[in-house]
Chains A and B, each alone.
Chain A
Amino acid sequence: MSGENRKKLRRARNSFFGTRHRIASFFISAADTRIPPRLGGLRWMPAAIVLLFALQLFTGILLSLYYYPEPEQAYHSTRFLLGEVSSGWLTRSIHHWAGELLLLAVILHVAGVFFRRAYVAPREYEWVAGAFLLLAVFVFRFTGRLLPWDTIGYEATRHGLGMFKTVPVIGPVMATWLRGGEDMGPNTLSRFFTTHVLIMPWCVVFVGGLHFYLGRRHAQEGEDS
């Protein structure tokens, strides 16, 4: 840690929050993190993923302000957002393209970890948590695509649920659960909306937190990433 950093930390520790909540210890541990001397092998990808996810949270909240999760209103409110709301098209496009980039970044991250053999002991749990996060990205995309209730989203979801039905024994039951009935309707939209904006973000925050914490611990213990 450089002298300048030490000075900053002392200031943080003596600040209003620092003296009350020991918030400085967080910054101390953050400042103590060893950055690999060379950030090759896509080791910077997690930062890009966190940044894109934060962007998705922010634009997602903005979008939810104009969105109604009800079949008829869903399509109209999306049209309204694109046509009438100032920068509505921009907000939606950012949400869309950041989602695409997020998938790309996650795949590159997985590839990097795989080819560096960074999943070997003691990082197995990190890898497993990461696998769940990869799954979460797919769930986000699948549920998000239906929300505008346009033809593409409707058909894509219908086909996706059709694939669920082909799973032996539990398939039809699972499809019915996800649909909230025998046919796609308001229940489906409601379920997909809740999954997209409420369940998945919190899952990602907790599983991602674990993934991040384990990565930090292993890095501090000098394990190669």
Chain B
Amino acid sequence: MLIICKPDLTEPDLQRLEMKLAELPYPLRWGRRSGRLVLLLERAHGDQEELQPVVEDPAVEHVLHNPSEREITRIFTRRDLLNLSLGTTGLLAGAAIFGPIAMYLAAPASERTARGDVLVARADAIPVNGARTKIIDGREFLIVRRDATNFHALARACTHSDVCLVDWDAKRRQLVCPCHRGIFDLNGNVVAGPPPRPLERLDVVIHEGAVYVRRK
């Protein structure tokens, strides 16, 4: 038999109920369910007369004579509290172990600030007056090293006819389109030939000895 008490019982209510329950010869489990005191008498079909004082107590709201297994397990018992605290402790311990591992696996702060930057090469892998090509978001770029510290990143597609790709002419220190002799300087400006617009350029970032191109 499951006895569900009213919410917010006062101290006299509890004492009175306790005295009545103490007179009963049945084993008793008690717990809490949504803030209410819930009593479970193990003997389902007890002596009705013996139970009468408890059932009629003003503190009792509702009585289930044949509670289902589900109704019983919904009582929050001391064992449930222990299980919950053990589970919480386990979760916290797990978080203490796997949290740092997750942080370890995440890219570190210095890498995160470079998000959107595309690594080209280590700076010393590109000689002065040399160039590297790099495909960024499906478009080809030339990364040219002008001197020790200055790099330029320019789109290879010629603005005159974008099926042609410009090359770095190390001797003339200019970018030359082989199709129609379009010539650009290192800032992408047109020096000679038919191209109507300067080449698109991207910023270059040097970070810890590596060359990155910053996406727009």
Closest to B109 in A: A84
Question: Is residue B22 contacting chain A, with contact meaning CB distance below 8 A?
Answer: no
Among the listed stretches A86-94, A175-183, A185-193, which one makes contact with chain B, having 4 or more residues with CB under 8 Å of it? A86-94
Residues of A close to B111: CB separation below 8 A: 84
Once the chains bind, are B110 and A87 in contact (CB under 8 Å)? no
Of the candidates A65, A84, A90, which one forms a contact with B110 in the assembled complex, judged by CB atoms under 8 Å apart? A84
Q: Which residues of B from 157 to 216 have beta carbons under 8 Å from A?
A: 208
Question: Is residue A101 contacting chain B, with contact meaning CB distance below 8 A?
Answer: no
Of the candidates A76, A86, A90, which one forms a contact with B106 in the assembled complex, judged by CB atoms under 8 Å apart? A86
Question: Is residue B101 contacting chain A, with contact meaning CB distance below 8 A?
Answer: yes
Once the chains bind, are A90 and B100 in contact (CB under 8 Å)? yes
Q: Tell me the complex Cα distance, A62–B98, Å.
A: 12
Q: Tell me the complex Cα distance, A88–B108, Å.
A: 10
Q: Which residues of A from 23 to 72 have beta carbons under 8 Å from B?
A: 62, 65
Once the chains bind, are A88 and B110 in contact (CB under 8 Å)? no
Of the candidates A76, A80, A85, which one forms a contact with B104 in the assembled complex, judged by CB atoms under 8 Å apart? A85
Of the candidates A76, A80, A86, which one forms a contact with B100 in the assembled complex, judged by CB atoms under 8 Å apart? A86
- Cβ of B143 to closest chain A Cβ, rounded Å: 20
Q: Which residues of A from 72 to 121 have beta carbons under 8 Å from B?
A: 76, 80, 84-88, 90-91
Q: Tell me the complex Cα distance, A80–B114, Å.
A: 15
- Cβ of A31 to closest chain B Cβ, rounded Å: 24
Closest to A91 in B: B104
Question: Is residue B105 contacting chain A, with contact meaning CB distance below 8 A?
Answer: yes
Once the chains bind, are B109 and A87 in contact (CB under 8 Å)? no
Residues of B close to A65: CB separation below 8 A: 105
Residues of A close to B103: CB separation below 8 A: 86-87
Q: Which residues of A from 194 to 220 have beta carbons under 8 Å from B?
A: none
Closest to B108 in A: A84
Q: Which residues of B from 89 to 114 have beta carbons under 8 Å from A?
A: 100-101, 103-106, 108-111
Of the candidates B104, B108, B109, B208, which one forms a contact with A62 in the assembled complex, judged by CB atoms under 8 Å apart? B104
- Cβ of B94 to closest chain A Cβ, rounded Å: 15
User: How would residues 71 to 105 of chain B score, 1 for a CB under 8 Å from any chain A CB and 0 otherwise?
Assistant: 00000000000000000000000000000110111
Residues of B close to A91: CB separation below 8 A: 104
Residues of B close to A86: CB separation below 8 A: 100, 103-104, 106, 108
- Cβ of A200 to closest chain B Cβ, rounded Å: 24
Residues of A close to B208: CB separation below 8 A: 76
Q: Tell me the complex Cα distance, A144–B110, Å.
A: 27
Closest to A63 in B: B104
Binding site for B on A (CB under 8 A): 62, 65, 76, 80, 84-88, 90-91
Known: A84-B110, A86-B104, A88-B104. 7 other contacts (CB 8 A): A84-B109, A85-B104, A86-B106, A86-B108, A87-B100, A87-B104, A88-B108
CB pairs A–B below 8 angstroms (7 shown): A62-B105, A85-B104, A87-B103, A87-B104, A88-B104, A90-B100, A91-B104
